[in-house]
Chains A and B, each alone.
Chain A
């Protein structure tokens, strides 16, 4: 599914050069639920950005589903994100002035799905996260946990192969966090979606099937959870 081959990412140049990722080899198979951990500056955010096709490696190779992404231009990477990836952010990142339903429909708009089918699929996705009743509410009318569930619905509405979650519970209390994690775990187990999640919280990492820890731009440890 995901393969880093001797991948490096370097920011800046000369004296101010920072090696965010330093010759990393990393692999994720289809159907895994991986928690990526590590202190800030360890390279985990860079890892997520590269996997999410938002950034490109400075050296080495990144293969997504067998395709070398490093050679792709911006629009080709946009198409990869549109068709194969779903993003969940710490800050939810919903469009504030549109309803929950419209937010969930948005990826389908870019895919060019006709309006009727779009509505249908967006409602199904909202139903899956248990928020169909709130379809016409704007983000400001929803609680944090509800907003994150709308964001999850938006991420899964295109049936992506891979879900990338960047500290999805960072802004939520522990009860709400557990709900979100159970939802992600369910998607991973029942729908077979591959999930990659950055988190600071060991409690949340326990939901994953595998924990990868980064430090100083390298993969420090990679352990499988006994489920």
Chain B
């Protein structure tokens, strides 16, 4: 009997395709947005967390610019960092175990017919342990190469794949901007990205090579330092700040013209923002589900009025109140379930597209997906009940007389 009722409800829904579609649109939008939001939100959160993990522990970054403007803010009027700052930091602050300078820009890499825009970083060998990189092929830079600024480079896996496809790139030479560069190493692939950029899409050169042949200056855009275990970012940061103030000849009445970032702190802030946004958008989506439910109720009421005569016939033939109620309730539930199903499909699709667009991992949350589906069925029951009860309470004589 129940199976029969479902079959009948499906037939009724299928008969009125356009109307059914418009009816469930609210549910579709509600469910789809909940799922898309949560999927992208969770992907971002996961990415931020893995970014931090990939950056290695006990990491601080020093950049030129006014404090309080976030990474990369207000660099224009502040003097650049220098390679000498790195040595001074290591010498004067015993808590630091490593410090590495870096300077970056985006250049076109050309190999054969292939051109690929890539992030190019000039640095030294300390960069690899500090940033958590290991090599899968080749070697790091030699002291001679670092000192002389030889055009040798180490590739990330994405860059290597873009230039030569699968395989070992060590030994090839390619054009990088205006210079010709020999590949001496290949980084291990890592499943992370730094704030939207694929980490594996990178070319790493000796700092001198970058400064002389690409940038044409001796600027260092960032210094990454790691401090020893047993101390904290809160303890190390003031030491770095006072040393840097001294080195940059800042008087007591001048503000810092550099920033010291604790990457973990930034990531937890970003995670918090993502969480709040996901929550807010989900609330909006829940309201859309509610509106969708009202849409279903509305159309079911219309349907009951239109089919009053049918209800009368069914009652004369022997349908009980419960059977009429069930028929219309099942119809509302079938409608909302179809809406829920479409919503899940579209939501996962949007989530996938959004994740790719934002370059984050696609993390479908099956719990939320299941919950959204169940909730949409619930919407059908709740908002279908009132019209169904109205149908069930009809007087068969009146209903049969209805034109």
Contacts and interface: CB of A to CB of B under 8 A. Distances in A.
Given A54-B396, A110-B323, A79 B310 contact: no
A219 B317 CA distance: 28
B315 A78 contact: yes
Contact of B319 (A54, A55, A110, A154): A110
Interface string B375-391: 00000000000000000
Contacts of B1: 109, 112
Given A74-B321, A93-B309, A97-B15, A87 B397 contact: no
Nearest to A107: B317
A114 B382 CA distance: 31
Interface string B299-318: 00000000001101111111
A85 B317 CA distance: 8
Given A54-B396, A87-B316, A106-B317, A95 B310 contact: yes
B321 A75 contact: yes
Contacts of B312: 93
B239 interface: no
B77 interface: no
Dominant secondary structure at the A interface: helix
B313 A75 contact: no
A54 B320 contact: no
Interface string B387-401: 000000000110010
Contacts of A85: 318
B397 A54 contact: yes
A97 B319 CA distance: 18
A89 B400 contact: yes
A78 B313 contact: no
B317 A110 contact: yes
Interface string B306-343: 00011011111111111100000000000000000000
Nearest to A164: B316
A209 interface: no
A49 B398 CA distance: 11
Interface of A: 49, 52, 54-55, 74-75, 78-79, 81-83, 85, 87, 89, 93-95, 97, 106-107, 109-112, 154
